[in-house]
Amino acid sequence: MAMATTAASPLQDQTSASSSASTIMAETSSEETQGSEAAVVVGEYSRWMEGAGAGDEAVAAVMALTAVVRSCDAADVEGLVAEINSAANVLKCLEKPYGSLSAACDMFVRYVAAKPDDDAGGGAAGFATKRRLVSRAKIFRDISLKARETVATLCQDFVPDDGGAILVHGRSPAVLAALKLAAANRKRFRVICTEGRPGGAGQRMAGELATACVPAMVLVDAAVAYAMGEVGVVLVGADVVAETGGVVGDVGTYQVALVARAMGKPVYVAAESYKFARLYPLGQKDVDQHGDDRPVDMGGVPVPAGVDVEAPARDYTPPEHLELLVTDVGVLQPAAVSEVLIQLSL
């Protein structure tokens, strides 16, 4: 295994000491309150993650934030928005690097707090505004819960029914749901799963497909160009959909898209709208990676002494290499992502 690489009067002293003590007590109280709030939102997040049928970090974050909005006892809208932001920042600390959980938190904050009323103070007007924010939180929650199912349904138009091959890369839950649905609809197709080193995501994907009675095979990553001739479409997921219309996903997605483009094969991306983010990657070095201590399997071959190993976890695929984005807000051209981000914040 390789590791990728003037002295004061007595009265002044007494006053100062009293002031310092008050400050410390206030800071301690604030820290205790913040700690309690953090524990609540993390607890809600964990409860959802551990619940039956859970496992989606982004949806769990949305559920936790919705609970925060619903239970918040802030006296005005400004306080409510501040608490939402604080809770979102707590959850974002659970994920490194920036991914779908963080994107969902940012999207939730923008959507729920969008276009606040002119009167955001207390009284009846403030209560009505607060109620509207709670309502928007619930709407966003419901959209997120149904997102993957909607994506899977819309993907059916792109799954062949003639026994043709679909090439997939990584283990995207949205792609998996789409293929399982296609199989349940008795569509005839087979799936080629790239192995997805170093994590082996493709092998796990193939295993889950086989369990669902979907014909699947594993392809070594280096053979993508070799096999692309027999592929009808490429279907990949995304960790984050950038405002550029490009996607951040499992490393290797970019090279798969390059090969597919060169050989005239369409690349479709299945992604939930809560993964849309205001990011502008200009190149691969703009993509946040996991820690350098990630273990890398080199197939049992030892790395020669003095040789470094670079094993990025994610890469960025520019929009010009993508045909369409299949999302729960519709089937989109990559260029439409920026407009959708604006609309979701209204």
- With a CB cutoff of 8 Å and minimum separation 6, the contacts of 192 are 165, 166, 167, 168, 216, 217, 219, 227, 230, 231
Q: Assign 37 to helix, strand or coil.
A: helix
Q: Which two tokens stand for residue 257?
A: 């898209």
Helix (H) / strand (E) containing 158: none
- With a CB cutoff of 8 Å and minimum separation 6, the contacts of 211 are none
Give the relative orientation of helices 77-92 and 123-155 as an angle to the nearest 10 degrees. Answer: 40
Q: Which two tokens stand for residue 30?
A: 């604030």
Distance between CA atoms of 174 and 95, rounded to whole angstroms? Answer: 20
Task: Report the candidate in 320, 235, 340, 319 with the shortest Cα–Cα distance to residue 277.
Answer: 340
Catalytic residue among 239, 250, 315, 328: 239
Q: What are phi and psi of 155, to 5 degrees?
A: -70, -15
- With a CB cutoff of 8 Å and minimum separation 6, the contacts of 106 are 88, 277, 278
Q: Assign 106 to helix, strand or coil.
A: helix
Distance between CA atoms of 65 and 55, rounded to whole angstroms? Answer: 16
Tell me whether residue 239 is one of the annotated catalytic residues.
yes
Distance between CA atoms of 312 and 294, rounded to whole angstroms? Answer: 9
- Which residues are catalytic, by number? 239
